């Protein structure tokens, strides 16, 4: 879910070598355009693929950012139309996808690496619930910290972040 490429481009601008994966060809194209526009195309490879099966061997990556599809409740301030994209009945399917993407990312990361899980929402199921389920399923990950950003308090979109370390 790398499109449109802001986070991947920023990571590449900081010096990281990035493989950005999006299953939507148009959104992957936006990532490639962003990489060219900001001058990091040599460090940002864009791949059209399903993030549940990323084009990486297990343990190949030093870190992974999972910017998972979600209910987008945290972005309503600047994108009010997002309220019509998902309803309460969509949450279980989104949680399943979020878990699958994060597990695939964890598989791709080598021991000692970092997995950063990010969603622009605040539902319990998509935030702490996903992290708890992930830690219950996997004994090779350790939670370092979580952070919930709120529009009224932080002056940013509502966003949840969890940083996990792969211990083995």
Where in the sequence numbering do the catalytic residues fall?
A: 120
- Residue 59, sorted as left (phi over 0), alpha (psi -120 to 50) or beta, turns out to be left
**Residue labelled with tokens 């195309």:** 41
Question: CA 82, CA 6: separation in Å to the nearest integer?
Answer: 19
Question: CA 70, CA 50: separation in Å to the nearest integer?
Answer: 16
CB-based burial, 65-101: b 16+ in 10 Å, e otherwise: bbbbbbbbbbbbeeeeebeeebeeeebeebbebbbbb
- Torsion on CA atoms 116, 120, 121, 127, rounded to nearest 10: 0
**Beta strand 44-48 pairing with 61-67:** unpaired
């Amino acid at each position: 879910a790398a499109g449109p490429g802001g986070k991947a481009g920023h990571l590449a601008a900081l010096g990281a070598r990035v493989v950005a994966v999006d299953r939507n060809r148009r959104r992957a194209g936006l990532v490639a355009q962003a990489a060219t526009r900001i001058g990091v195309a040599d460090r940002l490879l864009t791949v059209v693929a399903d993030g549940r099966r990323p084009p990486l061997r297990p343990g190949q990556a030093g870190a992974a950012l999972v910017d998972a599809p979600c209910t987008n409740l945290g972005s309503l301030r600047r994108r009010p139309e997002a309220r019509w994209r998902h309803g309460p009945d969509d949450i279980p399917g989104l949680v399943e996808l979020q878990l699958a993407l994060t597990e695939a990312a964890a598989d791709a990361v080598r021991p000692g690496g970092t997995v950063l899980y990010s969603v622009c929402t605040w539902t319990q199921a998509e935030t702490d619930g996903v992290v708890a389920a992930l830690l219950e399923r996997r004994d090779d990950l350790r939670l370092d910290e979580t952070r919930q950003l709120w529009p009224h308090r932080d002056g940013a979109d509502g966003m949840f972040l969890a940083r996990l370390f792969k211990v083995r």
